[in-house]
Amino acid sequence: MGETIGRFSVARWVFDGPFFDGPCLTKNRFRAKIRRQMNRTVLFIGGIAPVAAVLRLFTRNIFEPVGVPTFVGSMLVSVTVVLLIGMGLIFFREGLQSDGRYVRAAGWFVLLAVWCELLVIGGILLTERLHLHTYYTGPFQSVERTFPTGTAHAIGHAEGFWFRTPFLVGVGGIIYSVAKRKRV
């Protein structure tokens, strides 16, 4: 009867159990472990994003002659797709942690979103400077009509960041809530 198998008894056993010296030390170690895991996730996704950004400069000339549709080719090397995958991972992993916090996940995501936006804006400006025909000029002709210059396109991305990021943080909140229900 003394043993219970529930969330609180398991947590008490882990924090006060044989593996650690005391509850404060344990909680600090546990939080440090969570931060290290999130650091690795953000660094991993943040490391993939520049690869996608560089590939985006060159793949249009490879994909178009083969007959790959522009939209498909653009999605294959999209920094935005990398950001969306990162959003899912960040909010889901934080939601699964027993000490997970939505605000912490949102902070990490915003950091990743800023990095990805800087890569996209840099790619657009580089494309304009080198007079290249890449996916940064847009997978659709409407992008070229709406933003006649690369600078206008980059400004459009910078303005869009302020609307897109809060929306994605909200979507991340839904992912966080779903993951939170699966906590042990």
Across residues 172-177, what is the average pLDDT?
A: 95
Q: How far apart are CA 78 and CA 74, in angstroms?
A: 6
CA distance 161 to 19: 45
Average pLDDT over residues 103-116: 94
Percentage of residues of the chain with pLDDT beyond 90: 36
pLDDT for 124-165, tens place per residue? 999 889 888 787 776 677 777 888 888 998 999 999 999 999
Report, as an integer, the average pLDDT of 4-24: 44
How far from 174 is each of 53, 57, 166, CA to CA, in Å?
28, 34, 13
What pLDDT shows up at residue 6?
46
CA dist., res. 181 & res. 143, Å (int): 41
DSSP H helical ranges for the chain: 7-16, 23-66, 70-76, 79-96, 102-130, 141-146, 150-180
Instruction: Please state the rounded mean pLDDT for residues 101-119.
Output: 93
> What pTM, to 2 d.p., does this model score?
0.76
pLDDT of 16 higher than 60: no
The 10s digit of each residue's pLDDT in 64-99 is: 888 888 888 888 888 989 999 999 999 998 898 888
pLDDT (tens digit, 9 = 90+) per residue, 55-65? 888 888 888 88
Give the pLDDT mean for 24-53: 76
pLDDT for position 28: 65
Task: Work out the pLDDT band at 21, boundaries 50, 70, 90.
Answer: very low
Residue boundaries of the structural domains of the chain: 34-180
pLDDT of residue 159: 93
118 CB contacts (<8 Å, ≥6 apart)?
none
Instruction: Find out whether 88 and 168 touch, Cβ atoms under 8 Å.
Output: no
